Chain A
Amino acid sequence: MNLDFTLNRALDFAFPIFLVLVSLGFALVEPSFLSLENIFGMLHAMAPIAVISTGMALIVIMGKLDISLGSIALVSMGVSATLLQSGYGFISSSVIALLVGATLGAVNGFIICILKVNPLIATLGTMLTFRGLGNQITDAQVVVLPDGFRALGNFSLGIIYFDTVICLVLLILVHALHRRTKFGKVVTAIGNDETTAERVGLPVTRTIFFSFVIAGMLASIGGFFASAQVGAVTSFLGKGLEFTAVAVVVVGGISLFGGRGSILWGVILGSLTFEVIRSGLNYLGANPYFYQLIGGVVIFIAMYAAAIKTGYSANNS
């Protein structure tokens, strides 16, 4: 038991150590990699995926998955961009984008809670449907956003970017929601065992529903950041992001089996790991496909580490 415990702790630290070593490795080849400018640049670049992963983390702690988040990002930004073009203001179109995210999250929640469809299957369906809907709205064309947008997306005070700060605030809020509220405790309880949670009389259905709504809203904010950074909404917005988000969450030590993990540290660790690899390989001028390969290997290692960990805890029980 003690040995298992040590191993578990070691696995908890495996990715932070990995992250530090990889960063140092890149810095050895290219010392400016660890310059403050580049570090904050990475924190800026990872803001969209970090926000989407925050919602994913909440769902995963519940022992479920939502792979429609990237498509939700596309639909809400598609709607928002179209509204902007037809003369709506910045505020109103952004609020509507957020509402679209909430609504699509509610659609997921409805399919999962009321129609009782397995979350993976349900969101696989909505991933395809929502993407179709998003492309319908934008005609699969690139919609260029007003100049102010791009300025906001890359606005910084000194070296600290605006979206990094908002991302951190959202992370802390969702983390507190998970750790410090009744809602969050029910989320963890569902991740432990949904049947037991129901037997104890917890509001299981309501909690699952609203978790998907929250994840949908965070997906639309992530979409906002992503399109603001480039100043346009393209039909590729959010494509594959949901899977990156799952990987981020797993690398961050949040168990796919539910009930375990810290949203704040998990999402920061996970997003940073992938961003460091991407940015570092970029620095070295590596082929972009090589990044996909390395990313895949990292995901595999994270899954394997998680499997070892849960294997041990299952034996302990």
Chain B
Amino acid sequence: MNKNILQMQNIKKTYGPINALSNASILLKKGSVVALVGANGAGKSTLMNILGGITTPDDGEVLVNNKKVNFNSPVDAARYGIQFVHQELSIFKTMTVAENIFINQFPTQFGIISKQVIEATTRQLLAELGSNLNPHHYVESLSTGDCQMVVIARAMLGNPKILILDEPTSSLSKYEKEKLNLVIGRLKDAGVAIIYITHFISEIFEVCDSVTVMRNGTTISSQAIHETDNSKIIELMLGDVASIEKKRRKERNKNIFLKVDKLQNENKVKEATFELNKGEILGIWGLLGSGRTELVRSIIGLDGQPKGTILINNHGKLTPISAEYLSGITAYVSEDRRGEGVLLPMSVLKNTALPNLQKVSGNFGMIMLNKARNLATRVIKSLSIKVSNFDQKVGTLSGGNQQKIVFGKWLETEPYLLILDEPTRGLDISAKGEILKIATDLANNGVSILFISSELEELMKISDRYLILSERHVVAELPGDSTQDSLISALSKTVQGSAA
């Protein structure tokens, strides 16, 4: 039980100028479950990709059973008994449970697969996991939890010594989570060591023996689970914010721009009520999975029709409006820059023209190239974007400049509301600073901003007020001069509350 099965020591990895891992170490004992937690971009995925053989480290050692190993592919890693269950489940919907489990290792006799053999083995395997799924059911008819069971069973077929579960509960129901916990218990008893990556802190107390916290590419703490608690973990994750210099100090008079009243959107947002003033930056503070993105998307109607009321200041009178209407006067900088923010293979010119087609059109709805060029030039100049010319493809720009294109194209639509969802993710420090500066300038010019960030430091720098989100509820509101402690405790209180 006390045998070390895995040691990763002083792992370093850089991607271009960005330090993904600066000094990460993790220790895993046979039959134990280690939680790996950390904010977005802390380096959990990179560390696990190294263990899974998906990428190679620049420096540092990986020891399996006290022997140094080098993996160049997931197949290499599997040879040492390491199986990775990714958050995005690799399943084939039109195939059966048994086929999905055996997909890369069908046993054959004279080239022919025996249905009886694979279904019998599947039944046995699933029974060991405590599942009674029918081996010849099609996977498309299963729930997400059962699909996950299939993927775990596939991993078990490789006889793993170490199993990596990446965000295994992110889309499971409460009942399915309990089932998964039972499976983890059984695997532990069978001597499998598990690395459990999650954003839901309350979960780790249910299944994990110890917890390793990462921040900024470093593993900053590894403790037995009974030596720590919720708030300690959250504090470690978020870190100490040295001294915060507020970007904006001056008090503004209250002038409501937007009021959201009891907004409800299926299970994405629950009864959210808040107000946003003109020219105010409202920081939305919550852990990943608390419903931050879902809240802002629901307000502008991106995820179906929400229930509840949205009111806007219309010459001093609050008037109800539809989510679509709000969407029309809103600029939304998505957290998924490469997927939703820009069109990578298209030019700067086309990217900036896209939300402004009306503006660059002439007679008969024809797009006027000179207008589009002027617009692109204006965007490039006003945000000092580094491009060689406006025909350059956006995919060839750096992350910071891509993000500025996103800002620039939206600002040309002259929005009243700006939604920034993790706008600085993956950017280097100077680009981060520039993005925050653009945001504050806009607020000073009267644009109201909803600001989401996992980085407490930048959130505190810029926010005039905070909304605290937990488990899809708006649970509290804090003034702009709140301290780091009060913000963290607001969060850990709610986490504890939900765990109880």
Contact = CB atoms under 8 A, between A and B. Distances in A.
Interface of A: 176, 180-182, 185, 188-189, 191-193, 196-197, 199-202, 259-260, 313, 316-317
Nearest to B95: A188
Given A202-B103, A313-B140, A181 B90 contact: no
Contacts of B91: 196
Contact of A260 (B94, B103, B104): B94
Nearest to B86: A199
Contact of A200 (B104, B113, B140, B141): B104
Given A185-B103, A313-B140, A316-B140, A192 B93 contact: yes
Contacts of B112: 176, 180-181
B108 A182 contact: yes
Contacts of A180: 112-113
B75 A196 contact: no
B415 interface: no
Contact of A182 (B90, B92, B113): B113
Nearest to A189: B92
Given A181-B112, A193-B92, A313-B93, 20 more contacts: A181-B108, A182-B108, A182-B111, A182-B113, A185-B95, A185-B99, A185-B106, A185-B113, A188-B94, A188-B95, A188-B99, A191-B94, A192-B92, A192-B94, A197-B92, A200-B104, A259-B92, A260-B94, A313-B140, A316-B140
A192 B74 CA distance: 22
A188 B95 CA distance: 8
B90 A200 contact: yes
Contacts of A176: 112
Contacts of B103: 185, 189, 200, 202
Given A188-B94, A259-B92, A317 B99 contact: no
B92 A201 contact: no
Nearest to A202: B104
27 contacts: A176-B112, A180-B112, A180-B113, A181-B111, A181-B113, A182-B106, A182-B111, A185-B106, A188-B94, A188-B99, A189-B92, A189-B103, A193-B92, A196-B91, A197-B92, A199-B90, A200-B104, A201-B75, A259-B93, A259-B94, A260-B94, A313-B93, A313-B140, A316-B140, A316-B141, A317-B93, A317-B140
Nearest to B142: A317
Interface residues of B, number: 18
Interface in B74-109: 74-75, 90-95, 99, 103-104, 106, 108
Interface in B34-60: none
Contacts of B108: 181-182
A196 B88 CA distance: 10
Contacts of B94: 188, 191-192, 259-260
A196 to B, nearest CB: 5
Contact of A192 (B75, B95, B106, B141): B95
Nearest to A199: B90
Most B Cβ at <10 Å: residue of A185, A188, A259, A260: A185
B103 to A, nearest CB: 6
A196 B92 CA distance: 8
A199 B103 CA distance: 12
A259 B92 CA distance: 9
Contacts of A181: 108, 111-113
A260 B140 CA distance: 12
> A interface, by DSSP: helix, strand, loop or mixed?
helix
A191 B94 CA distance: 9
Nearest to B75: A201
A177 B289 CA distance: 45
Contacts of A189: 92, 95, 103
Interface string B340-369: 000000000000000000000000000000
A199 B154 CA distance: 14
Chain A to chain B: the 3 pairs with minimum beta-carbon distance, closest first: A259-B94, A192-B92, A196-B90
A200 B100 CA distance: 10
A201 B74 contact: yes
Contacts of B95: 185, 188-189, 192, 259
Contacts of B106: 182, 185
Contacts of A182: 106, 108, 111, 113
Most B Cβ at <10 Å: residue of A192, A193, A313, A317: A192
Contacts of B140: 313, 316-317
A163 to B, nearest CB: 27
Contacts of A185: 95, 99, 103, 106, 113
A202 B93 CA distance: 16
Contacts of A197: 92
Nearest to B91: A196
Most A Cβ at <10 Å: residue of B94, B99, B111, B112: B94
A90 B325 CA distance: 75
A85 B497 CA distance: 89
B234 to A, nearest CB: 33
Contacts of A199: 90
A199 B54 CA distance: 10
A265 to B, nearest CB: 16
Nearest to B112: A180
Nearest to B100: A189
Contacts of B93: 192, 259, 313, 317
A205 to B, nearest CB: 15
Contacts of A192: 92-95
Interface in B111-144: 111-113, 140-141
A200 B151 CA distance: 11
A181 B115 CA distance: 11
A299 B68 CA distance: 61
Contacts of A188: 92, 94-95, 99
Nearest to B54: A199
Nearest to B94: A259
Nearest to B111: A181
A197 B94 CA distance: 13
A267 B94 CA distance: 19
Nearest to A179: B113
B113 A201 contact: no
B70 to A, nearest CB: 19
A182 B106 CA distance: 7
A263 to B, nearest CB: 14
B364 to A, nearest CB: 33
A200 B141 CA distance: 21
Nearest to B151: A200
A186 to B, nearest CB: 8
B74 to A, nearest CB: 7
B137 to A, nearest CB: 13
Contacts of A317: 93, 140
Nearest to A61: B94
Nearest to A201: B104
Most A Cβ at <10 Å: residue of B93, B95, B99, B111: B93
B358 to A, nearest CB: 33
B163 to A, nearest CB: 16
Nearest to B102: A185
